């Protein structure tokens, strides 16, 4: 007997202006914002992201690659010293390195379905810390002071992640107004990732970004 799959319930949250006033409600797709968070898949996605960010450019030279050392430093017998064939031996300062790092690729892969599940799990886990706003069209000037007021009106605290299409006309002043705030990070919906979602204490997402994420991640 097979277990019947349960449909994730639709979530309803307030839609706010950037002044913090309620404009209505937004229905969030349960298959994106209401799934049971899969901690293991989130861990795999985070590990993949951190591994893929590594340069892997550390490099040391072996005794064959170190310059010089062609002449035998002293004769084989009669000196009382241990025999030596080259000053570029790993036993000497300036010599080669034994088993040192070489350039390598740390990249790991993860199936697309698992990456989507990790994003949906992170979005669902952070739903209580998520604020949905109409857009940033009322941010009419490029001023950091105005952006600080917007965040205060929305009661956004701690490390803040803003998910919005900064290329859209209604959000044209957002990026320049927020870039000097050290606790604020802006992301396009297409660049959303598990690491930034997990680290954020407050998430602000525009209504258009919600629609884009739903279209991309829904089953």
- Domain check: are 158 and 210 in the same one? yes
Q: Of 196, 117, 120, 122, which Cα lies nearest the Cα of 162?
A: 196
Last residue of a domain, one of 105, 134, 165: 105
Last residue of a domain, one of 78, 105, 132: 105
CATH number of the CATH domain containing 173: 3.40.1370.10
- Domain check: are 86 and 20 in the same one? no
- Domain check: are 177 and 157 in the same one? yes
- Domain check: are 197 and 173 in the same one? yes
Alpha-carbon gap, residue 198 to 119, rounded angstroms = 10
Alpha-carbon gap, residue 70 to 128, rounded angstroms = 68
Residue 35 lies in a domain: yes
- Domain check: are 49 and 60 in the same one? no
Confidence of residue 6 (pLDDT cuts 50, 70, 90): low
Q: Picking from 27-36, 42-51, 111-120, which range would have the lowest pLDDT averaged per residue? A: 27-36
Last residue of a domain, one of 105, 120, 135: 105
Structural domain range at position 16: 11-54+109-217
Residue 88 lies in a domain: yes
Kindly give the pairing relationship between strand 202-206 and strand 22-28.
unpaired
196 class by beta-carbon count within 10 Å (0-12 exposed, 13-18 middle, 19+ buried): middle
User: Average pLDDT, whole number, for the chain?
Assistant: 90
- Domain check: are 132 and 184 in the same one? yes
Query: Residues 83-124: pLDDT tens digits?
Result: 999 999 999 999 999 999 999 999 999 999 999 999 999 999
Instruction: For residue 200, list its beta bridge partners.
Output: none
Structurally, the chain folds into a number of domains equal to: 2
Query: Residues 154-171: pLDDT tens digits?
Result: 999 999 999 999 888 888
Residue 4 lies in a domain: no
Residue 170 lies in a domain: yes
Residue 2 lies in a domain: no
- Given a cut of 50, whether residue 3 has pLDDT beyond it is no
CA dihedral in degrees (202, 208, 212, 218; nearest 10)? 70
- Domain check: are 115 and 182 in the same one? yes
- Domain check: are 121 and 209 in the same one? yes
Structure tokens at 218: 């829904």
Q: What is the DSSP string of 93-136?
A: TT---TT------------HHHHHHHHHHHHHHTGGGEEEES-S
Read off the pTM. Answer: 0.81
Q: Chain centroid to CA 99: how far?
A: 32
- Domain check: are 17 and 33 in the same one? yes
Place of tokens 């706003």: 133
Structure tokens at 162: 């803003």
Residue 6 lies in a domain: no
Residue 119 lies in a domain: yes
Residue 1 lies in a domain: no
């Amino acid at each position: 007997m097979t277990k019947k799959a349960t449909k994730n319930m639709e979530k309803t949250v307030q839609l706010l202006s950037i002044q913090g006033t309620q404009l209505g409600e937004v229905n969030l797709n349960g298959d994106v914002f209401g799934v049971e968070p899969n901690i293991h898949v989130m861990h795999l996605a985070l590990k993949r992201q951190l591994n893929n960010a590594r340069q892997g450019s550390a490099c040391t030279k072996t005794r064959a690659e170190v310059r010089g050392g062609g002449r035998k430093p002293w004769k084989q017998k009669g000196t009382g010293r241990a025999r030596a064939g080259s000053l570029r031996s790993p036993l000497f300062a300036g010599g080669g390195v034994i088993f040192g790092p070489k350039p390598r690729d740390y990249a790991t892969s993860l199936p697309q379905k698992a990456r989507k599940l990790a994003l949906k799990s992170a979005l669902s886990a952070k739903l209580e810390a998520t604020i949905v706003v109409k857009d940033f069209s009322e941010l009419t000037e490029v001023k950091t002071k105005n952006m600080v007021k917007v965040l205060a009106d929305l009661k956004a605290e701690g490390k803040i992640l803003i998910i919005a299409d900064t290329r859209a006309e209604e959000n044209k002043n957002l990026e320049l107004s927020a870039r000097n705030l050290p606790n604020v990070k802006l992301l396009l919906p297409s660049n959303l990732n598990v690491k930034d979602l997990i680290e954020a204490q407050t998430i602000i997402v525009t209504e258009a970004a919600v629609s884009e994420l739903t279209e991309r991640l829904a089953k």
